[in-house]
């Protein structure tokens, strides 16, 4: 048996949607000049292009109010006119995503924002210019997540949709189906495994046929765990080509951050929804054709007993189960299953077969191998267990909802800018 560790520690600037430092607010005259530059630049591009999409993009950019999505159903020039559309752009997380794209995306990337509220969409576009995040007026699209025609139109006009409108089990299913039908790529920030299982069952075959890439869990749940595990496994297989990785442990060793009201709303839904509750401890809930007791025979369970602090000699620290593990383990194990079952010559799977594989997500705050580290892990474990049990109890959940941030709320900008996290990964191999 051999082990390898990979530590993709990301700086704060990667976590925050803004560059570190002070963003100076532009006077109104600069905002006016920015709008003028936008008009002149786009007009010049439109007059030199024969592509009808240019003219449509120009009209959408200069519109003083959001374009109703339903009006685009029979608009041929609108097809794939936007490279990226942020759906739910006016919410707390959607605004952060939009600001980051507006400020850092390539200038030739065609971005639009979409949501329900005309007032909020107009306010967001204006604030992007006034803050200096953008010197372009982003096109605005208006629709309803529950309206099939609106979501079909959204999927039609976009090459890729980034959805920040959760909880997704309540608001996301129609859009995913539309993207699958239209061959439009899709990513979201869900952490709802039961809902993910339902959209896989409903839309996987269609998405494969149309070429749509549907990527749920594209946030902290569960990109670090999934990509970090693969990086560690790939590195270990590079050192031992004849071996397969049978175990990966992730350790969240450093973290400073907070939860938005939308994330908490998802947590309440996990506690209230029967499908989510029943699938919460199913480690193979996202694995195709899983057989309980067979495909998961080497996987450690998701149970309160796993919260007890353990000492890891390689890390020299005490650790408890990460609060992100219930979602991360399902995503990582689905990746392992899909890679093992792939018949593509371009796919190299570093993992052992799924029945022989185990993933564990751990929280080892600040890598303390001392008695203080054990106490810290024990306190953290107790708080996680209390939060889970409290969320399940209806009376306690109501009180928690009243006390904690609501949808649209979240950590202030100064706190987000100070945020950071680090995860370390340990992979182990078996020689066959």
Question: CATH number, domain at 168?
Answer: 3.40.50.720
Virtual torsion, Cα 315, 319, 321, 323, nearest 10 deg: -100
Whether residues 272 and 160 share a domain: the answer is no
Q: How do beta strands 158-163 and 185-188 pair?
A: parallel
For the chain, the domain total comes to 2
Whether residues 288 and 271 share a domain: the answer is yes
Residue 46's nearest CA partner among 61, 28, 26 is 61
Whether residues 305 and 353 share a domain: the answer is yes
The rounded distance, in Å, linking the Cα atoms of 221 and 270 is: 14
Whether residues 110 and 254 share a domain: the answer is no
Q: What is the pLDDT of residues 243-259, one digit of tens each?
A: 999 999 999 999 898 88
Q: What is the pLDDT of residues 159-200, one digit of tens each?
A: 999 999 999 999 999 999 999 999 999 999 999 999 999 999
Q: Is 326 helix (H, G, I), strand (E, B) or coil?
A: helix
Whether residues 269 and 371 share a domain: the answer is yes
Could you tell me if residue 14 is inside a domain? no
Task: Check whether 30 has a pLDDT greater than 90.
Answer: no
Which of 215, 231, 256 is the endpoint of a domain?
215
Structural domain that includes position 350: 220-431
Could you tell me if residue 9 is inside a domain? no
Stretch among 106-110, 234-238, 371-375 having the lowest mean pLDDT? 371-375
The rounded distance, in Å, linking the Cα atoms of 427 and 418 is: 30
Stretch among 2-16, 33-47, 128-142, 209-223 having the lowest mean pLDDT? 2-16
Whether residues 65 and 138 share a domain: the answer is yes
pLDDT at site 61: 82
Average predicted confidence (pLDDT) for the chain: 86
Whether residues 352 and 409 share a domain: the answer is yes
Whether residues 413 and 298 share a domain: the answer is yes
Residue 79's nearest CA partner among 180, 175, 185, 157 is 157
Could you tell me if residue 236 is inside a domain? yes
Could you tell me if residue 11 is inside a domain? no
Contacts by residues 347-351 (CB-CB < 8 Å, ≥ 24 positions apart): 350/230, 350/233, 350/234, 350/236, 350/237, 350/244, 350/245, 351/233, 351/244, 351/245, 351/246
Whether residues 314 and 370 share a domain: the answer is yes
DSSP state letter for 11: P
Q: Which residue matches tokens 């100076």?
A: 24
Whether residues 224 and 208 share a domain: the answer is no
Q: How many residues are given for the chain?
A: 432
Could you tell me if residue 194 is inside a domain? yes
Q: Which residues contact 55 (CB under 8 A, 6 or more apart)?
A: 46, 77
Whether residues 349 and 253 share a domain: the answer is yes
Identify whether the C-beta of residue 324 lies closer than 8 Å to the C-beta of residue 384. Answer: no
Which of 189, 215, 241 is the endpoint of a domain?
215
The rounded distance, in Å, linking the Cα atoms of 106 and 195 is: 33
406: left (phi over 0), alpha (psi -120 to 50) or beta: beta
Could you tell me if residue 24 is inside a domain? yes
The rounded distance, in Å, linking the Cα atoms of 190 and 220 is: 10
- Counting Cα atoms < 13 Å in the Cβ hemisphere of 135 gives 13
Could you tell me if residue 57 is inside a domain? yes
Task: Check whether 1 has a pLDDT greater than 80.
Answer: no
Cα 381 to Cα 223, 375, 389, 397: the distances in Å are 23, 10, 12, 19
List b or e across 314-347, with b for residues whose CB sees 16 or more CB atoms inside 10 angstroms: ebebbbbbbbbbbbbbbbbbbbbbebeeeeeeee
Could you tell me if residue 2 is inside a domain? no
Identify whether the C-beta of residue 357 lies closer than 8 Å to the C-beta of residue 247. Answer: yes
The rounded distance, in Å, linking the Cα atoms of 140 and 69 is: 10
Residue 423's nearest CA partner among 354, 333, 359, 337 is 359
Work out the number of other CB atoms within 10 angstroms of the CB of residue 118.
13
Which of 215, 230, 260 is the endpoint of a domain?
215
Task: Check whether 120 has a pLDDT greater than 80.
Answer: yes
For the segment 129-154, the average pLDDT, to the nearest whole number, is 94
pTM greater than 0.75: yes
Percent of the chain at pLDDT exceeding 90: 62
Q: What is the pLDDT of residues 373-407, one digit of tens each?
A: 888 888 988 988 898 889 888 899 999 989 989 98
The rounded distance, in Å, linking the Cα atoms of 32 and 37 is: 9
The rounded distance, in Å, linking the Cα atoms of 8 and 6 is: 6
Whether residues 226 and 195 share a domain: the answer is no
């Amino acid at each position: 048996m051999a082990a390898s560790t990979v530590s993709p520690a990301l700086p704060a600037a990667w976590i925050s949607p803004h560059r570190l430092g002070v963003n100076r607010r532009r006077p109104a005259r600069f905002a006016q000049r920015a709008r003028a530059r936008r008009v002149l630049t786009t007009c010049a591009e439109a007059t030199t292009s024969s592509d009808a999409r240019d003219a449509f993009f120009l009209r959408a950019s200069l519109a003083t109010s959001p374009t109703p999505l339903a009006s685009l159903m029979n608009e041929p020039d609108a097809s794939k006119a936007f490279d990226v559309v942020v759906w739910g752009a006016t919410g707390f997380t959607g605004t952060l995503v939009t600001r980051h794209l507006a400020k850092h995306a390539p200038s030739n990337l065609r971005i639009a924002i979409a949501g329900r509220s005309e007032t909020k969409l107009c306010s967001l576009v204006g604030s992007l210019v006034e803050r200096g995040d953008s010197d372009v007026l982003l096109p605005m699209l208006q629709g309803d997540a529950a309206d099939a025609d609106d979501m079909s139109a959204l999927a039609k006009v976009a090459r890729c949709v980034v959805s920040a409108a959760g909880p997704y089990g309540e608001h996301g299913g129609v859009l995913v189906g539309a993207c699958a039908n239209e061959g439009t790529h899709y990513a979201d920030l869900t952490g709802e495994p039961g809902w993910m299982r339902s959209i896989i069952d409903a839309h996987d075959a269609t998405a494969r046929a149309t070429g749509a890439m549907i990527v749920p869990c594209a946030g902290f749940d569960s990109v670090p765990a999934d990509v970090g595990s693969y990086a560690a496994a790939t590195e270990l297989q590079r050192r031992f080509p004849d071996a397969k990785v049978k175990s990966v442990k992730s350790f969240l060793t450093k973290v400073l951050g907070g939860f938005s009201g939308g994330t908490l709303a998802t947590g309440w839904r996990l506690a209230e929804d029967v499908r989510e509750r029943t699938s919460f401890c199913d480690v193979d809930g996202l694995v195709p054709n899983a057989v309980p007791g067979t495909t998961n025979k080497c996987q450690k369970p998701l149970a309160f007993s796993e919260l007890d602090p353990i000492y890891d000699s390689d890390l020299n620290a005490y650790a408890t189960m990460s609060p992100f593990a219930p979602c991360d383990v399902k995503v990582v194990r689905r990746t392992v299953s899909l890679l093992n079952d792939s018949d593509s010559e371009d796919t190299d799977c570093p993992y052992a077969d799924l029945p022989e594989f185990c993933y564990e997500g751990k929280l080892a705050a600040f890598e303390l191998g001392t008695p203080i580290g054990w106490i810290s892990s024990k306190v953290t474990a107790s708080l996680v267990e209390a939060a889970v049990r409290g969320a399940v109890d209806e009376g306690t959940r109501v009180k928690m909802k009243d006390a904690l941030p609501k949808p649209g709320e979240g950590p202030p900008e100064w706190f987000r800018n100070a945020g950071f996290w680090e995860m370390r990964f340990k992979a182990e191999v078996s020689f066959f």
